[in-house]
Chains A and B, each alone.
Chain A
Amino acid sequence: MSTSTAAETKTTIKALLKPTGRHIESVDAQRLDQLRRIYSNLIATKQLVLQEKKHIKPRSDATQKWNEWLKKSFSTFVDQLCHVVKMGRKSGVRTFIGVIASTPKGDGTLERIDDVLVRKLVGSLMDSYGTNGDGVVPEGLLDLTQAEFFGRYNDSQYFVLVAMKNAASQLLESNNEDEASNGIKAENLVRILMKIEIASDQDEIMPKDVKMHGQTETCSNYLFLPPTNTAELKDADYDGDDDDDNLNDGDESSGEDSDEEVPQQSQLTKQKLQVTKPKSKPKLLSWQSIRQHRNALQSATLTILKIPTIPPRTLKRILQDLPIKILPHVANPLRFADFCTRAYDIGGVTSLLSLHSLFVLMTQCGLEYPKFYPSLYNLIESKIFYAKYRSRFFKLLVKCLTGNQMLPAYIVAAFCKRLCRCAVNAPPSGALFVLALVSNLLRKHPECACLVHRKGGKIDDPYDPDNEEPAKSRAIDSCLWELNALEKHYHPAVASMAKGCGMEDSNTLYHDLDGFLVHTYKSLFDQERKRGDNKRKSKVPVTFQKPESLFVDGDSFKGIFEFSQKKIKL
């Protein structure tokens, strides 16, 4: 490391750090990439040491100074990179990832991702300027980051989660900004969160081949390959149990740990046989353990959900993914219960989505939520049959109503009655679904048969459609007269299903409700239109009376529409 080369390097760095051609993406990208290469070279040759190590003897002044300068310029470089990322340039993200990959923390045997850099990357993704200044991070950028960074390397995913938690808590604390931008930032975070796919078990996060051929570096699951003998590393505090903050002091401790290792290196092979054997489970580094990943996910999600300025759109998105992507993976799903109950109170689609999460919590985590079925009951109304998210709702409804054999009859009856009442106004697709569901329910709950079969004389309908409590609606005392109305539906399939509803015997199979979820106006229309196409000689019935005119005397239009002066005279 001669000074002459250092001087040359310094001039190149200085030249390159000047933001030239910032507006031309390719030129700028090239410049930054050049810088990255130089720095990685410097780090590899230990000219640039980012972390000071206490126990290492102080180097010469020149080196120290050189190092100091390099550090400063490096941070400028990182800031520039952050800016580029905020602008939404893919090249910037790529270079950033390259920088992270070439700038490990720690040295020797234990290298890990520099969490400060990850935090900066996540922060700049969050604070993105957006494509047209709206601050929404472009989807392509996230996809890239996921594909090349946190979706690919398990350790990077862990650090991203940690960084997200930090970013979210910062966002929580900084309440000086306006709500809109905060909301957008939160949304960006949520979008990153949605991209994260957490492993399902330990084997997935730490595949076998890592353990077997640790030194061969064939494994691509980690950006920095963890050492094979993690058990020996004794970085116990790094491998914190439940402590969320262990990361903050983690960097120092790991530094401490690493130099201790050096003298022990020689004894490794001996100890290995003695120590690893009794331990059934080798101790894992935090980014290697699924538990830590889960904890990180939970804390990140919870912190993000705490942000009060989350826009409803984002809220819906979280709620959509919560029961599928997050709740099965987090350590303590019940901590989300509060959030879900609050979300239910918002109303509309949000409450529906939150009900799904609540259902998962109730069935899988033992949450007690007595208001659940009344809430679900109140969500059923005519409008929902036209809503875009109806198939999701219906799926949930099917799950809640048919999955629980212990539902009391009065609740089932109330649901049946309400569904049928709505089906009278629903489109044919909805009516078909309702009829299938009600038919299934009536068979599953034979005690509800009184809805379709009741002896005795005339009765007044005791059903109260406006009562919000299914228990008080008195549906069980009523009858499903709606079926009679649906029998007269113009759609032949609805009519025939309504005729069959409640008439089934024990041999009839249950309707496959998934098949009924997919119907729409268009699908039904196409089905009817194509009917008989394949039959060659299918006859088409025609009328037998020649129309006198378009609007004949005596049709429904008479007296309601006027069509011409002539017609009025008639």
Chain B
Amino acid sequence: MGKRKFTKKLSSLPKGLPTPKSKRARASIAESANINPFESARASSAKAPKFHVHNRPISGRINPNNAIKGAGSALKRALDNRKAGLRQSMQKNKKAGAFIDRRIGESRKAEMTEEERMLARIVRERASRSKKRDKYALGEDVGNDTSLSMTHKGQAIDESYTGKNDAYAILSDEEDDKYGGQLERADTEMHFGGGEFDEEMVRLANSNPYGPSGGAKETLGDRYRTRKEELDDLIMRKKYEKAEKAKAKEEQVETFEEFDENFKELASLLKFRDKEKDRRTVTQARKDGTQSQTDKEMDEWDTEMKSFMFERRVKATDRTKTTEEIAKGEAERLHELETRRLARMSGDFEDDDFSDISDDEEDIKSKKKRGKKTKEKTAKRRDRNPDELDSEDEEDDELEAKFTADGLVYVDKEGNIVKKAGEEKSDEEEENPQDSSDEDSDNLGASDDDASFDSGDGLSSGEESDMDEDTILEVGTQVKGKYLADQQMDGKSKWYRGQIKSVKTDEAGNTLYDILYDDGDVEEGAKPENVRRRKESANEKKVEEEMKQKLAEISSKRRKAKQKARTEIPYIFEVPKTLDSLHDMIGTYATTGPDASLIIQRIHAANSVKLDHRNTEKMQNFYDVLLKRFIGVGDALCKGGNGGEDLGRYDQLDSLVQVLYSMTQDSPQSAAAVWKRRLGIMQNALSKRLRDAEFVSIDDEEDFSAWASTGILLAFRAIGHIFPVTDMRHVVVTPALILMGQTLGQTPIRSVEDVMRGVFLATLMIEYTKGAKRISPEAFSFLAGVLNLFADNMEEACQKSPIPSFIGASKVGELQACRESVIKYFKSGRAKNATFQLSLEKEKMTSLGAPAAILISTLRLIRMLSKFYARSLNQSESEAFHDITCALLRLSQYSSKAMKLPGVVSREIKSTVEILREELQIGDARRPLTRRASVKASELAIKTLAPRMEDPDKYFMGKDKDKTRAQAQRDRMRREYKREHKAVSRELRLDAAFIESERRKDKDKKDSKARNARNKNYAWLENEQATMNQQVAQGGGLLSGGGIGAARAKAKSGRIGMKRGGKF
């Protein structure tokens, strides 16, 4: 007996079920097969039967006949049920194709004998036959069941019945005819009639002016009769309908026959044309041009239709590629290109088809081929499962080119870097080209054609050694040369094939050759001793000629390719971790802005998150780097403008935005995280600048601005492209908006540049919010503030600006003179061709026309605004635009004539005011707010104060006594739901427990088998060991091993007959 545990295990039996405590008890139960008296006890709720009533089932009674229904408590029953149902379904679970015998009794084979089963089936059969519905089925198809058909005198009334055709006559047989139905009537009268009173009644009925049925004096006999008549009627109607049907059928057959007849006539009318003749006439007519109009049209129609037949049909395209596949394709292409480029750089032209060197059509073909090949390769790589113990090492020596941080490397199967591409290989070649030439081919699988040539030359070099060295070779002669012989190790050089490009003589009078080697290298000033004419036999020459043509083609391509490869930007880059490393990369490979953009694009394409989710972290880091770069480029833009075609900073920004966009699409969450962090940094920087601004006085000469740099402003613009700005709430856009609002509202303005930046931000806020027709108060206030700068009484106007950015502006000389400078600018006549556009470039920001540009573009912006928000602010336009309106009105006031704004500007102002007035309907009558919902009737009604009295007649005890009807119903429902819920959860729990216990049982069964086997083995082993030990203990040192403790030691000592304890 173990300790009693109160925590209920899943596997433990449910509460209330007696568990046999010991094996013995269990055995006794099994033996006696008696039902535990506790188990068979009634459910506690059931009442004891007071009287024994025959034929009434009593719950909780033992029914020894039925194992399921009988034994004991409901709980026991439930358990048994579960065992019967759940266990079976558990065994069947996950087994497909099992045959289920659904015949009656088959599922409970164990419980029923064969006879019982049969009996059950018969009972079911009978029951189904004795369905009431069959009794009155009077349709035609009942014929098969003779017992239910209508008979007359033992004869079935059907087609075979040879009665009279008259439907009515069916009923009137001869005997009835005789009595004219009187007999029957008499019979009924006799049995059910009213005796002597009946006559009287008949008389009365007849005397009734309203007919026999007028009174209530109907006799029972009458009623019976009417019933009979009704039945007769029914039968008659049925018969009649049947007859009608038969008649209709006959008629139909007749009609069909008639049609058939008619068709023969019609068919004779149809004449088949002589097609051959017809055709001939048509062609004749066509030739002669004497066709009728309709024929012509028909011809045209025919030709058109035929042309459609030959038209190319649109084939179903492949499905749209997923983003992952696109990214993968792009990365693979780049990898391929990069591998080839690196190979070319190191002069390795094996399986290089120069697809990018040669013309276009080749290009396409080769690409296709390439694609296939790489696919195969990758497929192979995929197939190899790293976990598998691969016994077949077929690709043992095949090295895989891989691109890593060190460049292109060859990697063997285990992933060790075998060889680096490029420099190592070329070193080797230069050092001992002859030695390596042979190995090269199989070792690296590279430059086999080169090597074969060379080795051939090496052999034949002997015959050519007697060449006359004095003769000067002509240009174009095929030669062999020692490439850069002076630099090779003591003359141990190799002969390469080549062609003499030019011949010159140096100061000393020595002849020098410029040789163009076949592999694309060029050597200038080769000494004559290093150059030999190539001797060719006749057929060699012929072969050579052919080769030459091919090779010339190839070599030119190779040369081009090599050159290109050296200057080209690599296709694959590692992801830079810092901005500096990115700049290094750009500094190394890129010379122009587009190059830099290309590099960044390639970095993204080759390392996209869609390729490999492990890239996430790297790319998130890179995202941040890109953001920094974006801001950096933006700042540079401010300082240096676009920077010409080469730098193209705007284009760089565009491409950066695109890369950022696609990276965001790849993994929006990490992008959002980066942006959020960046925004946090910007916010901190802003608050720091705001603090600083309080300490830097306006008179300070130093160029201090609390405004965010251009790069950051442009970054804000980029957010709008990357994340949706119309969302009600967005993790990136909303903080960005708040940050912009803060910048606009709190950053003090100290120069014209600041104003421009502010206008930019205000425009950006409007751009963000206009899509969803939202308003950004800070932007509106800022624009009003900008207009106030141009007011005549600028100082006062600035004080009225709703945001504090402008409060300090009245002390800045540059801004005080805004109005004057506008007037001056227009007077100077420079404004003629000006576009009055703002810019973020420093040069343009500080130009003379800047104030005028600010004023005019602000006015433009306001016009645009009024169109955006017209009728979309729900009649609150005048409030939203209140400050702007005030500022506009202030603009047009002037104190002296000198301060009057030039005509162009005042016209602009006027038109702006008009548009504002028109679009926003400022000052018009408006509909008042109606925010309160109308009152409900229940609220309007006077509250009753009468107490709710209880009706003593309807008194009841119960939980719901004091509740209203609805409440009571609700509570009842809730209780019921609770009960059900409890029951269901209990059932589920018990099911789970049952399943678990079954599972354990199964497992035990399985384990015990293994355990038994093991035990057997152990027993055997122990037995053996015991024997051994015994023998060792007895034997004197002859046997080694075995024994334990002292016996062992003594056994070792070699003394004979020593027993345990030192006794013999």
Contact = CB atoms under 8 A, between A and B. Distances in A.
Contacts of B877: 485
Contact of B737 (A452, A490, A503, A543): A490
A542 B723 contact: yes
A424 B876 CA distance: 10
Contact of B738 (A452, A524, A547): A524
A382 B781 contact: yes
A438 B766 CA distance: 27
B637 to A, nearest CB: 9
Interface string A395-436: 000000000000000000000000001101111100100000
A565 B879 contact: no
A482 to B, nearest CB: 5
A564 B773 CA distance: 29
Contact of B731 (A485, A501, A540, A568): A540
Interface size class of A (residues with CB under 8 A): 35 or more
A455 B927 CA distance: 9
B337 interface: no
Contacts of A426: 777
Given A481-B929, A525-B742, A425 B769 contact: no
A547 B657 contact: yes
B745 interface: yes
B932 A541 contact: no
B874 A528 contact: no
Interface in B915-935: 923-933
A554 B441 CA distance: 61
Binding site secondary structure of chain A = loop
B760 interface: yes
B668 A539 contact: yes
Contacts of B687: 522
B714 interface: yes
B873 interface: yes
B738 A525 contact: yes
Contacts of A487: 874
A476 to B, nearest CB: 13
Contacts of B926: 458-461, 479, 481
**A383, A426, A524, A564, most chain B CB atoms within 10 A:** A564
Contact of B802 (A383, A461, A495, A555): A383
B929 A502 contact: yes
Contacts of A567: 650
A484 B766 CA distance: 18
**A503, A526, A529, A568, most chain B CB atoms within 10 A:** A529
B763 interface: yes
Interface in A478-528: 479-485, 487-492, 495, 501-503, 521-522, 524-526, 528
Contacts of B879: 421, 424, 481-482, 485
B763 A556 contact: yes
Interface stretch (B12-20, B289-297, B676-684, B954-962): B676-684
B555 interface: no
Contacts of B657: 547, 549-550
A503 B766 CA distance: 29
Contacts of A452: 929, 931-932
A355 B93 CA distance: 83
A490 B873 CA distance: 13
Nearest to A536: B669
A563 interface: yes
Interface residues of B, number: 96
A540 B767 contact: no
A484 B346 CA distance: 71
A541 B730 contact: yes
Contact of B837 (A491, A548, A561): A561
Contact of A556 (B770, B775, B878): B770
B840 interface: yes
B650 A532 contact: no
B662 to A, nearest CB: 7
A549 B654 contact: yes
B721 A547 contact: yes
A491 B737 contact: yes
B548 interface: no
Contacts of B778: 427
Contacts of A382: 781, 802-803, 883
Contact of B880 (A424, A456, A457): A424
Nearest to A496: B728
Nearest to B932: A453
A511 to B, nearest CB: 17
B661 interface: yes
Contact of B723 (A451, A531, A543, A559): A543
Nearest to A465: B882
A371 interface: no
B876 A484 contact: yes
Given A483-B929, A502-B929, A540-B672, A528 B734 contact: yes
A556 B864 contact: yes
Interface of A: 382-383, 386-387, 421-422, 424-428, 431, 449, 451-461, 465, 479-485, 487-492, 495, 501-503, 521-522, 524-526, 528-529, 531-532, 538-543, 546-552, 555-557, 559-568
Nearest 8 A-B pairs (CB), nearest first? A382-B802, A485-B876, A454-B928, A549-B654, A484-B876, A547-B721, A458-B925, A453-B932
Interface of B: 642, 650-651, 653-654, 657-658, 661-662, 664-665, 668-669, 671-672, 676, 679-680, 683, 687, 714, 717-718, 721-724, 727-732, 734-735, 737-739, 741-742, 745-746, 759-760, 763-770, 773-778, 780-781, 802-804, 807, 835, 837-840, 844, 857, 860-861, 864, 872-880, 882-883, 923-933
Given A387-B804, A488-B872, 12 more contacts: A424-B880, A425-B780, A455-B930, A460-B924, A489-B775, A522-B742, A528-B729, A528-B735, A529-B680, A540-B732, A547-B658, A561-B857
